[in-house]
Chains A and B, each alone.
Chain A
Amino acid sequence: MAHKIISKSQLSEDVFTADVEAGHIVRAAKAGQFVIISVNNEFGERIPLTIAGVNPQNGTIKIIWQRVGKTTAHLADLKGGDSIAAIVGPLGRPTHIENFGAVVCVGGGIGAAPLLPIAKALKEAGNKITVILGARSKSILILEDEFRKISDEIIITTDDGSYGRKGFVSEALAEVCRRTPKPNQAFVIGPAIMMKVCCEVTKEFAVPTQVSLNTIMVDGTGMCGGCRIEYDGKPKFVCVDGPEFDGHKVNFDLMMKRLAAYKEMEKTSYEQYKKHVCKIYRRRTGDG
């Protein structure tokens, strides 16, 4: 049961998006949930990706991913019309949506992708939305227009100052938290280190904060426990207990170590893939 890519585009240097046929997932998918993807049923690995959008009419889901290793690079090399071998989902618990009042949504880098459907759902529930989007540089900022459409206020930060304010999202977040009245709720999604720093900020201001975690997974259904984190001193499975958690209770330091568990092996795998692709390219073009 392969899944056809209906359309695919590049959002920035290393970030891509695709609408993929996944009729069986559309019916149940809700904001905050994810899928597990594999590009090869025999030898591929299984990686979790957030469902960034759903199109019930076409029976497609939208995925957004960053090219960081072998599988994400392979996905990036696929074109419209190609197929993805396996898509499982929707997995994880949906985001708890209610009218909190004033909500601040913080998206760092690729974290903007999972944040978008959550922000949309929050807006529909009547919340006043302040969005803070951050990226290293203007060229890799994604989904700005989409967020502008649904937010009451938007603040953009770039590490290098090439767009919006120079600085980190955590600084803008602190500023928003200092306002009176302060936000009733925060949603923070992005790299682990960014979520950690943002949670330190919101903790100081006692603003309840949901984070969405993207740990290493195999099955995504609670069977392996590879995705476990330390939450309030106890183990929790991101795939079935999450992916969203109260950010003030997550042990981010340990989570970051676990995310780096296979760093060297992942690098090897990616290098091998790049070499392999080069070879095919040379063969096709008759070059070398």
Chain B
Amino acid sequence: MANDNKQTKQNNNREAGGLTAAERYKIPPQDMPEQAPEQRARNFEEVATGFTEEQARKEALRCLGCKNAPCVKGCPVRIRIKDFIAEIAQGNYKKSLEIIKENSLLPAVCGRVCPQENQCQEQCTVGIKFKDIAKSVSIGRLERFVADLDVDDKDTPKVGAPTDRKVAIIGSGPGGIVAAADTRRAGHDVTIFEAFHKPGGVMVYGIPEFRLPKSIVQKEIDTLTRMGVKIVPNFVVGKTSTIEQLLKEDGFDAVYIGVGAGLPKFMNIEGESFVGVYSANEYLTRANLMRAYKFGAGADTPIARSKKAAVIGGGNVAMDAARMAVRLGAEKVYLIYRRTEKEMPARVEEVHHAKQEGVEFHLLQNPKRIIGDENCRVKAIECLRYKLGEPDASGRQRPVAIAGSEFQIEVDCVIVAVGNIPNPLIQQTSPELKFNEEGCIIVDEKGRTSMEAVYAGGDIVTGAATVIQAMGQGRTAAQSINEYLQQKTKIRS
């Protein structure tokens, strides 16, 4: 009997490439093909071009298919990782994508922008064996590979019979898209309200084309439209209409709030309102959503074409802004961060790409003031040097300024990327809704807020976080909305 089992196991292994763990360890990690740094620094096209089929199947064979699947515990939406990878190894791409889509609606997006090295890939047995995260199975790249094949292009998710219930989704970012799809699948009449003129939220205004092509986001939006989800752009909830009005006057039975953390933080230092100082939000929105990189060649929105730019911050947004400045023609781009590279919240890959593209890292430095010329245009930034002290609340060593260490860097543009906080527009007009001190909406584990029929998820709940987390919370809230509306219907009938 035991022998039989062993036999079956070996057969399974053979089908999946017939390799033992030792043989799998020997397969070298596959490198992601990408545009050469000097070439891509001059265009706006995607940097990483994606695995070839041969590479993907090789990479998939590196997966040990661990019984306890530690990678899944690292995934915020619990994708059945080893199963979808096993299907890639066997060339069953359609099946592979189906497995991913059980848990994640946006694999082409998440495969690109998820911080896998802090999630699934951090837990990967292969990486742990080699004591090197870079040698973990490239789960994200495999996810992207299979998502990009478009194998399910024409499949529109099935929609349930009409329920006569209306759901309003506020915000068309990752959480909103998932919440819309899941509530629509249950047969509800779903409308997404978006403040901008184009849907997609941070995926279209924030994350640049070279990291996440807009066509990928549009494809997901098109799917929603095909499912019958209505999208209303140029509609600011909290201004055009309040949550209460949506429920009481506009006939909605439930509302999901997924408006993100949209308010940029500034440093509150001298000179921060000089001409040439941008929040990363403004800089990236002008460049991405408003297409300012095409100014003079069709687009109407201008943006500073700086020669020497300083970007303040160490997160992904700071990397995006720095790399955008390179592409907009800056000869020098300085990334100024008050801690060391080790503490940077940005993904390793983004840091690596930024350096390759010529961004100069100024670590353990932080601006003290911005200096302008007689026209209040930025001409320099004065920084202080820092050293690392005791650990702070985040567990990272606190940066401590070194007195008297001031020095100046000549720049004509400063981009502030030190984080975002929630937008108070909804808070100002929804007194019934409970918020915490940081301005985030308080929800329970099911995504329910303090207001009946109102649910929330994503950055407006957690503060600035990730696409995948927002997606997961959108899904949880959608499930709660579906349950709530079912209950309500029962009571009525």
Q: Give me the interface of A with B, judged by CB distance under 8 Å.
A: 1, 24-25, 27-28, 38, 40-46, 70-71, 85-91, 218-219, 221-226, 228-230, 234-235, 240, 253-254, 257-258, 260-262, 265-266, 268-269, 272
- Which residues of chain A are within 8 angstroms of B195 by Cβ–Cβ distance? 88, 219, 221
Q: How far is the CA of A218 from the CA of B296 in the complex (A)?
A: 18
Q: How far is the CA of A229 from the CA of B299 in the complex (A)?
A: 26
CB distance from B345 to the nearest CB of A (A): 21
CB distance from A51 to the nearest CB of B (A): 12
B205, B232, B240 pick with most chain A CB within 10 angstroms: B240
Of A25, A85, A91, A229, which is within 8 A of B273 by CB?
Answer: A229
B239, A91: Cβ atoms under 8 Å? yes
Of B240, B266, B376, B424, which is within 8 A of A28 by CB?
Answer: B240
Of B240, B245, B279, B300, which is within 8 A of A45 by CB?
Answer: B300
Q: How far is the CA of A103 from the CA of B279 in the complex (A)?
A: 38
Q: How far is the CA of A251 from the CA of B396 in the complex (A)?
A: 39
Known: A43-B298, A224-B264. A240 touches B198 (CB 8 A): no
What band does the interface of chain B fall in when counting residues whose beta carbon is under 8 Å from A?
A: 35 or more
B265's nearest neighbour on chain A, judged by CB, is A225
B261's nearest neighbour on chain A, judged by CB, is A223
Q: How far is the CA of A71 from the CA of B375 in the complex (A)?
A: 26
A235, B300: Cβ atoms under 8 Å? no
Of A38, A91, A222, A258, which is within 8 A of B197 by CB?
Answer: A38
Q: How far is the CA of A33 from the CA of B264 in the complex (A)?
A: 22
- Which residues of chain A are within 8 angstroms of B236 by Cβ–Cβ distance? 88-89, 91, 221
Of B234, B272, B282, B424, which is within 8 A of A240 by CB?
Answer: B424
Q: Give me the interface of B with A, judged by CB distance under 8 Å.
A: 195-198, 205, 232-236, 239-241, 245, 262-264, 266, 268, 272-276, 278-279, 281-282, 285-286, 290-291, 294-296, 298-302, 304, 375-377, 423-425
Q: How far is the CA of A21 from the CA of B294 in the complex (A)?
A: 31
Of B264, B294, B300, which is within 8 A of A71 by CB?
Answer: B300
A40, B282: Cβ atoms under 8 Å? no
Known: A221-B262, A235-B272. A86 touches B285 (CB 8 A): no
**What are 19 contact pairs spanning A and B, CB under 8 A?**
A1-B234, A28-B240, A28-B241, A43-B298, A43-B299, A43-B300, A45-B301, A86-B233, A88-B197, A89-B236, A89-B239, A90-B239, A218-B301, A219-B285, A225-B281, A225-B282, A235-B272, A265-B302, A269-B300
Of B276, B279, B295, which is within 8 A of A224 by CB?
Answer: B279
B239, A1: Cβ atoms under 8 Å? no
- Which residues of chain B are within 8 angstroms of A87 by Cβ–Cβ distance? 234
- Which residues of chain B are within 8 angstroms of A91 by Cβ–Cβ distance? 236, 239
CB distance from A265 to the nearest CB of B (A): 4
CB distance from B271 to the nearest CB of A (A): 10
A218, B302: Cβ atoms under 8 Å? no
- Which residues of chain B are within 8 angstroms of A86 by Cβ–Cβ distance? 197, 233-234
- Which residues of chain A are within 8 angstroms of B296 by Cβ–Cβ distance? 265, 268-269, 272
- Which residues of chain B are within 8 angstroms of A219 by Cβ–Cβ distance? 195-196, 285
A35's nearest neighbour on chain B, judged by CB, is B234
Of B240, B295, B377, which is within 8 A of A25 by CB?
Answer: B240
Q: How far is the CA of A223 from the CA of B375 in the complex (A)?
A: 26
CB distance from A65 to the nearest CB of B (A): 15
B282's nearest neighbour on chain A, judged by CB, is A224
Of A25, A43, A224, A257, which is within 8 A of B281 by CB?
Answer: A224
A1, B233: Cβ atoms under 8 Å? yes
B300, A262: Cβ atoms under 8 Å? no
What are the 6 A-B residue pairs with the smallest beta carbon separation, nearest first? A224-B282, A265-B302, A257-B376, A45-B300, A262-B302, A225-B279
A223, B240: Cβ atoms under 8 Å? no
Of B263, B282, B298, which is within 8 A of A218 by CB?
Answer: B282
A225, A230, A265 pick with most chain B CB within 10 angstroms: A225
Q: How far is the CA of A70 from the CA of B301 in the complex (A)?
A: 10
Of A38, A222, A230, A269, which is within 8 A of B263 by CB?
Answer: A222
Q: How far is the CA of A272 from the CA of B208 in the complex (A)?
A: 27
Q: How far is the CA of A269 from the CA of B292 in the complex (A)?
A: 12
CB distance from A3 to the nearest CB of B (A): 9
- Which residues of chain A are within 8 angstroms of B302 by Cβ–Cβ distance? 45, 262, 265-266, 269
- Which residues of chain A are within 8 angstroms of B266 by Cβ–Cβ distance? 225, 228, 235
- Which residues of chain A are within 8 angstroms of B272 by Cβ–Cβ distance? 235
A28, B239: Cβ atoms under 8 Å? yes
Of B232, B268, B377, which is within 8 A of A1 by CB?
Answer: B232
- Which residues of chain A are within 8 angstroms of B240 by Cβ–Cβ distance? 24-25, 28, 88-90
Q: How far is the CA of A85 from the CA of B299 in the complex (A)?
A: 15
- Which residues of chain B are within 8 angstroms of A28 by Cβ–Cβ distance? 239-241
B275's nearest neighbour on chain A, judged by CB, is A261
A230, B294: Cβ atoms under 8 Å? no
Q: How far is the CA of A127 from the CA of B381 in the complex (A)?
A: 50
Of B263, B300, B375, which is within 8 A of A70 by CB?
Answer: B300
- Which residues of chain B are within 8 angstroms of A1 by Cβ–Cβ distance? 232-234
- Which residues of chain B are within 8 angstroms of A222 by Cβ–Cβ distance? 262-263, 423-425
- Which residues of chain B are within 8 angstroms of A269 by Cβ–Cβ distance? 295-296, 300, 302
B425, A235: Cβ atoms under 8 Å? no
B285, B286, B295, B302 pick with most chain A CB within 10 angstroms: B302
CB distance from A75 to the nearest CB of B (A): 12
Q: How far is the CA of A185 from the CA of B104 in the complex (A)?
A: 58
- Which residues of chain A are within 8 angstroms of B234 by Cβ–Cβ distance? 1, 86-88
A3's nearest neighbour on chain B, judged by CB, is B234
